[in-house]
Amino acid sequence: MLNEVTISTAIINRYMTKLTSALDLDVAIVGGGPSGLVAGYYLAKAGRKVALFDRKLSIGGGIWGGGMMFNEIVVQEAGAAVLAEFGLAGSPFEPGYYTLDSVYTTATLVHKAMAAGLLIFNLIGVDDVVIKDERVAGLVINWGAVSTLGWHIDPLTLFARYVLDATGHDAEIASVLVRKMGVRLNTETGGLVGEKSMAAERAERETVTNTREVYPGLFVSGMAANAVCGGYRMGPVFGGMLLSGKRAAESILEGLA
C-alpha cells in the first residue's frame, strides 16, 4: 500500500540532502541556457563540485523555442566538436550549416550534463552575490516564484569559489554587482557595455572572446558575456553558445587549479 506521507518524506529528505550538498561549491552557475549547461557539463566531467540554478520550471533557456518558435536550431561547423562531445550530430543543410531539433538538443544537453555530475536546481532564482575580500564568493538564492510575485522573503546563501553568470541577455549577476557595489568590471568601459544589434558572424566569434572573468570570482558566458562586454546578437545559431560554455569551463578550471 502506498503511504502518502512516505512519499512526502522521501521528497523532502532527498531534496534537503541535495540542496545542503550545494551550499559550498567549486562553481555555481546561474542560468540553464546552452552556455550554462555546457559549462556545467565540462566542469562536472573534470570532477568539480558544480551546481546550476535557474529560476524557471524548465531548464534550457532560449534553445527550446528555436527561431521564432520554429523548434529547430542551427549550429555552424565551429560548434560541431562540442555537439559531438554530447553525442549530437546535426543534419547537414548547406556546407558548414547543421540543423538540430531544439527539444532533442535541450534534453540531451541537460541529460549529459547531469550524467556527468552537474547538480541542477530549477525554480531557484539568484538575487545577489556574496562578497568576501573584494571577490565574488557565492550566491544569494530564493525561490523563483518569490521574485516573480514581488514578495519580500529573505533569501538563503551559498558559497562558491567561482560564479558563472549565464543568465542570458539581462546579465543579471554582473548587473546586480555593478548596481549594488559600484565596482569596475574587466570590460572596455569598466561597466556593462550593453548588447549590440544583430551581426551573426561577428557575434559568434566575440561570444567566445567575451567569455571571461569580469570581476574576481565572476565569469560571464553566452549572451550575458555579450551584454557585459558589448557583443552583437546572433539569433538562433548556437555554435558560439556551446563554445562559450566550453571556454568558461576551461578558464574556471585554470582558476581552480
Helices (H) and strands (E) in the chain, counts: 9, 11
Counting every residue written for the chain, the total comes to 257
Q: Residue 166 and residue 63: Cα distance in Å, rounded?
A: 13
**Binder of ligand 48F out of 26, 28, 61, 109 (CB under 6 A):** 61
Q: Which helix (H) or strand (E) holds 12?
A: helix 4-20
DSSP string, 83-136: HHHTT--PEE-STTEEEEEHHHHHHHHHHHHHHHT-EEEETEEEEEEEEETTEE
In 3-state terms, what secondary structure has residue 246?
A: helix
Q: Which is nearer to ligand 48F, 178 or 241 (CB)?
A: 241
- To the question of whether residue 62 is assigned a binding role by annotation, the answer is yes
Q: Which is nearer to ligand 48F, 47 or 96 (CB)?
A: 96
- To the question of whether residue 48 is assigned a binding role by annotation, the answer is no
178 counts as binding ligand 48F under rule CB under 6 A: no
115, three cell numbers? 550524467
Shortest distance, position 3 Cβ to ligand 48F, whole Å: 35
**Segment lying near ligand 48F (by CB under 6 A), choices 54-62, 77-85, 90-98, 152-160:** 54-62
35 counts as binding ligand 48F under rule CB under 6 A: yes
Q: Which of residues 188-247 bind ligand 48F (CB under 6 A)?
A: 222-224, 234-236, 238, 241
Q: Residue 22 and residue 49: Cα distance in Å, rounded?
A: 8
| CA distances (Å), origin 107, targets 37, 50, 213 | 11, 19, 28
**Binder of ligand 48F out of 32, 66, 231, 239 (CB under 6 A):** 32
End-to-end CA distance of the chain: 51
User: Interface mask (CB under 6 A) for ligand 48F, residues 64-103, using x and -?
Assistant: ----------------------------------------
- To the question of whether residue 152 is assigned a binding role by annotation, the answer is yes
Q: Which is nearer to ligand 48F, 7 or 179 (CB)?
A: 179
- Residues lying near ligand 48F in the complex (CB under 6 A) are found at 30-36, 53-56, 61-63, 125-126, 166-168, 172, 222-224, 234-236, 238, 241
Binding residues: 35, 62, 126, 152-154, 169, 223, 233
Residue stretches of the annotated binding site for Fe cation? 154, 169
